Structure formats: structure tokens, C-alpha cells
Amino acid sequence: MEKISESKTIKRIALIGPESTGKTMLCMKLAEHYKTVWVPEYARIFMAKLKREYNYDDVVHCARVQMQTEVEMIKEANHFLFCDTELINYKIWFEDKFQKVPEWLEEEIEKRKYNLYLLTSPDLPWIAETVRENPTRRKYFFDLYSGELEKRNFPFKVIFGTGESRLSLAIALIDSFLITNS
């Protein structure tokens, strides 16, 4: 939970999950529903513009910009800040692609805990995009994310279903979680 001022407490909710599981769309719709702002996934924007194969330093850069953008966006938030990815995503990406993780990342993950993590299920059809790499490994990554959240004892809920039912489930889980944990 991030405090902006004595009177404004912002609940931070992170969307985490495999590629092509609707995180961005869900993040936008949740921000709209709760009348607040959301933090886009910087790596998606950065990688789409890159004219070469990305490398370890590119992913480090993306993780750092993601953290900074969140710090900036929380100033505009209204009760909630929805984040279209977070640092566990980067940790798993580093491990899978480069077999090494920046030393500072573990500490930042613990320091930047969210009030709630929404883990998106890979039950939506795969939609190919130039920045996506793992069409056949979504369940594998889902299990890695779930394992990280469980290991750290971070509060999370799994989001599944399609279309409006996916959004309705997310809203119901957020509302229920907030009532139970306020």
C-alpha cells in the first residue's frame, strides 16, 4: 500500500500472468471501472520499437522504467493503481531467457509488494504479436508465477473466463478482497 498523503491511500493491484492472457485489456477495463489510472507494460512498448534482438541489458532497462513509471503514475491514482505487470514477471523472464537475475531484483520484489495480485489464467486463445515468444508454454509460465506468489505468501486471485465474465470476476474478487482486508 502506497501513501501519497495523509488523506490519500492507494491500493496497488498487479496483473501477472503468461503472454496473451488478457492482462492489458483487463488492466484498462479495471482502471476504467474504478475511475483511476493504470501502468502499461513498458517492455511491450520498448520491444515493439526495437529493431534488433533484445538482450539482458534491454530487459534490465525495461524493469527499471517499469518501476519508475509506477512511482510517477501513483500520483495520479484514485484509490487504486492497476499495474500491467510487475517485477516477478521480470524475474521469471530473466531466469528463462538469460539464466540469471539482477542482484537488486529480489530485494525490489519484496520491497514493492502489492495489495493484491491478479494472476491471469491461460484459458484465452493465443493471439500472436511480434513481442510474444511462448505460444506453447503459457501453462508452464502460469505455474511459475503461481509458485512465486505462493512461495512469497503474496495475496493473489486467479482470473479466468472470457470477455465480460473475466472482468466481472476480477471486479468481484477485488471488491471481496478489499472488504475482507480493510
124-160 pLDDT tens trace: 878 767 777 777 899 999 999 999 999 999 999 999 9
Predicted confidence band of residue 7 (pLDDT cuts 50, 70, 90): very low
> What pLDDT is recorded for position 6?
39
Predicted confidence band of residue 180 (pLDDT cuts 50, 70, 90): confident
Give dist(CA 73, CA 39) in Å, integer: 7
User: With contact defined as beta carbons under 8 Å apart, do 97 and 27 qualify?
Assistant: no
Give dist(CA 55, CA 60) in Å, integer: 9
Angle between helices 87-98 and 56-73 (to 10 degrees): 180
User: With contact defined as beta carbons under 8 Å apart, do 70 and 48 qualify?
Assistant: no
pLDDT of 57 above 80: yes
Mean pLDDT value across the chain = 92
pLDDT of 4 above 60: no
> What pLDDT is recorded for position 8?
66
> What pLDDT is recorded for position 97?
96
> What pLDDT is recorded for position 134?
75
Highest mean pLDDT among 17-21, 45-49, 147-151, 159-163: 147-151
Q: Which domains does the chain have, with CATH numbers?
A: 2-180 (3.40.50.300)
Give phi and psi for 35, each to the nearest 5: 55, 55
Residue range 7-33: mean pLDDT, rounded: 92
